[in-house]
Structure 1
Amino acid sequence: MTEVIADHPGVDADALGRWLDEHHAPGAGERPVLELLSGGSQNTLIRVQRADQRMVLRMPGVRADAARLDGLRREIRLVRGLKGTDVPHAELVAADESGAVLGKPFYVMAEIDGWSPMGGGWQAPFDTDLQARRGLAFALVEGAAKLGRVDWRAQGLEGFGRPDGFHERQVDRWLNFLSAYQVRELPGLDVAADWLRRNRPSQFTPGIMHGDYQFANVMYSHGEPARLAAIVDWEMTTIGDPLLDLGWCLLGYDGENPATDGFYLDMTGMPTRSELLAHYEAVSGRSTEQIDYYLILANWKLGIMLEKTYAASLAPNSRVDPRVAAAMGPMVLQLMTTAADLSRRAK
């Protein structure tokens, strides 16, 4: 859904238009027409149209704290660093890290002509053509592989993350994160945590990782064949172990074949895990020999992240959509159960 707005709180269309002209953005001299877009959970998304040119502005929400502002600045640096790479993304038009123009940092990016499976499931023909649907999973994995092979130092991202000790930090960091809001017992939490501590990779090749890489955070081009139009929502990106993004791609797989129910999308007809691992290796040049670790960590970590939303839904005067809360409760438990079961079966 979209809503046409003359001015958004914090967005002066005239000031924005002048700034866009200064940065040689498309639609020179035109006053922008602003349209509020849905889909931005952590940040506000606004379509910016000047004449026949359309872009998207991304900025922190009205109640954003300092951490959210810093996170937006990190996104700007990351998207700037992707310029010239083969990673599908919305290209940066211009950015204001200072907040001088609109009172908060923001950036403007190219609008993507594509679709998200979160907008009602698989779009035609992928809703009925299972052979075509297979390509969506291969394209998802290929996007992760391309992101992970970017020469991040050459792209100006030195110091963007702390890859040293990445895996040593994971379990304790996320258990500490959970302790701030945990409201119930999570069966399987400690089983998976203990296994992760004992089986973390002894070495890895650092690279850019999205941090929440799944069908929910990509857009596809319209029509066949399946092609990734853009990776979106970079809030959790860092320099770490890109193989964790592959583990995120395989959420919904607790074995060779995808789940037949309980996942947020219909995975009928999707490739086997072995097929996806082979494709990732071919594109990335990385070994997937330790995929069990990454898949267990992905399920375990996502469960902890989603538990925060569930816990927030229980607070008085909660702003969490009751439908979201109802889905999160059992979803977190299933993710923890999957992580624990996979750890018990792992070599």
Structure 2
Amino acid sequence: MLEQKILVSAQAETDINWPALEVYIRTHIKNLDSSPMVVKQFSEGYSNLTFLIQIGDWEAVMRRPPFGKIPPKAHDVEREFRLLEKINPVFPYAPKPYLYHKDLEIMDKHFYLMEKKTGIVLDDTIPQDYDEIPILRELISESTVDTLVQLHEIDYKKAGLANLGRPEGYLERQVHGWFKRYQNSKTDELVLYDDIEKWILAHIPDSPSPTIIHNDFKLNNMMFSLTDPGKPIAVFDWELSAIGDPLTDLASAVAYWKDEQDPFTGINSVTSLGGFYTRQEFLKRYAQKSNRDLSNFNFYLAFAYFKIAAILQQIYYRWEMGYLLDDRFSDLHEGIKNLLLLSHDVIHVRK
């Protein structure tokens, strides 16, 4: 094999046996040419690590958990791989999975390979030439809502996904579980927490009929066509997917869909630039397309803000304890406070 070209973080360069990975790929993927393997690491988010793998014209994406100590059952990429095997045939925006590997001779944690999709992912900026397309932001808003509705319409039993989770009691487990996770990673006493916990625990509604839920559905987990404005190409990051209450999915999507006036929350969204749907417009289209009752939505939104705060709190705790060395996480405590404030504001409006 020719010399590899590895463009990754220093830790990934030393802690992953890239020659062994190439041998593994060539053993299981047939008819690859003799070109050297090229690896590029995508910009690191707060979750699993993602790498582009290229051998000649063949491309794939590798996903693996973060380095270092992680919470039990977190970053379960095997579960994500098995889910993609079943959901890709009925929801083609889910990438096709190729290979899963759990032995540790190649790297310190398990990983899988999936197809590479081609398009544009919108994080906190829009490329200028793309943004010049007329009504682009409206088209993206519409297709984001419609893609979520389409996901929730899938017959999960026919898709062979009935064993993905236990829909009975899903919402209650989520609520109690996330309050417990927050408490287990708490670093500061925040005055709004007790009021939020008390109100949410006292107002858990009955859930609508269960559906497949993505559980991390947000704009930068989608990919759009470069040539057909607003057309979705892919939905990524399925590790948290379940069978459960679709309104929890909707609420998370709306909470991540930042408005222009939102405070710093530790999360970025291009929607804060303006011109996209407002949160109310997002909800209106979802209600029209899905025919779901959103009369209890304030509960779901208050919980969604809290859940995101709890997710960031787990990351901030790991940073403060020295398990994570990335200084991007140093100001997450301010975002957590503001997310709790947003949750509290929703509750106050409800009252």
Normalising by structure 2, we get a TM-score of 0.83
AA at the equivalent of 2:222: V
SS at match of 1:36: strand
Cα deviation for residue 111 of structure 1 reads 0.8
Q: Does 1:9 align with 2:16?
A: yes
Unaligned runs of 5+ in 1: 22-26
Q: Does 1:276 align with 2:270?
A: no
What is the aligned partner in structure 1 of residue 81 from structure 2? 76
Cα deviation for residue 241 of structure 1 reads 1.2
Cα deviation for residue 133 of structure 1 reads 1.2
Specify whether residues 49 and 239 from structure 1 end up closer, same or farther in structure 2 by C-alpha distance, changes over 3 A only. Answer: same
AA at the equivalent of 2:140: L
Unaligned runs of 5+ in 2: 1-5
What is the aligned partner in structure 2 of residue 291 from structure 1? 297
SS at match of 1:262: coil
Does the CA contact (< 8 Å) of 2:65 and 2:75 recur in 1?
no
What is the aligned partner in structure 1 of residue 217 from structure 2? 213
Specify whether residues 129 and 253 from structure 1 end up closer, same or farther in structure 2 by C-alpha distance, changes over 3 A only. Answer: same
Q: Percent same amino acid at aligned positions?
A: 23
Normalising by structure 1, we get a TM-score of 0.83
Q: Distance in 1 between matches of 2:134 and 2:193?
A: 35
Specify whether residues 77 and 101 from structure 1 end up closer, same or farther in structure 2 by C-alpha distance, changes over 3 A only. Answer: farther
Q: CA RMSD in A?
A: 3.1
AA at the equivalent of 1:107: Y
Specify whether residues 275 and 188 from structure 1 end up closer, same or farther in structure 2 by C-alpha distance, changes over 3 A only. Answer: same
Cα deviation for residue 247 of structure 1 reads 0.8
Specify whether residues 292 and 259 from structure 1 end up closer, same or farther in structure 2 by C-alpha distance, changes over 3 A only. Answer: farther
Does the CA contact (< 8 Å) of 2:200 and 2:299 recur in 1?
yes
Q: Distance in 2 between matches of 1:249 and 1:197?
A: 22
Instruction: Specify which of 19, 34, 40 is matched with residue 36 of structure 1.
Output: 40
What is the aligned partner in structure 1 of residue 318 from structure 2? 312
- CA offsets per residue over residues 265-293 of structure 1, 9 Å max, x none? 32412223343223223443433332212
Q: Distance in 2 between matches of 1:252 and 1:267?
A: 13
Instruction: Out of 241-250 and 135-144, give the one that drifted further.
Output: 135-144
- CA offsets per residue over residues 45-79 of structure 1, 9 Å max, x none? 33222331222122345547694688111101111
Q: Distance in 1 between matches of 2:335 and 2:13?
A: 39
Specify whether residues 68 and 28 from structure 1 end up closer, same or farther in structure 2 by C-alpha distance, changes over 3 A only. Answer: farther
AA at the equivalent of 2:283: L
Does the CA contact (< 8 Å) of 1:15 and 1:101 recur in 2?
no
Instruction: Specify which of 20, 26, 37 is matched with residue 29 of structure 2.
Output: 20
Does the CA contact (< 8 Å) of 2:47 and 2:75 recur in 1?
no
Q: Which aligned pairs between 1:195-274 and structure 2 lie closer than 5 A?
A: 195-251=199-255, 258-262=259-263, 264-265=268-269, 266-274=272-280
Q: Distance in 1 between matches of 2:196 and 2:129?
A: 39
What is the aligned partner in structure 2 of residue 141 from structure 1? 145
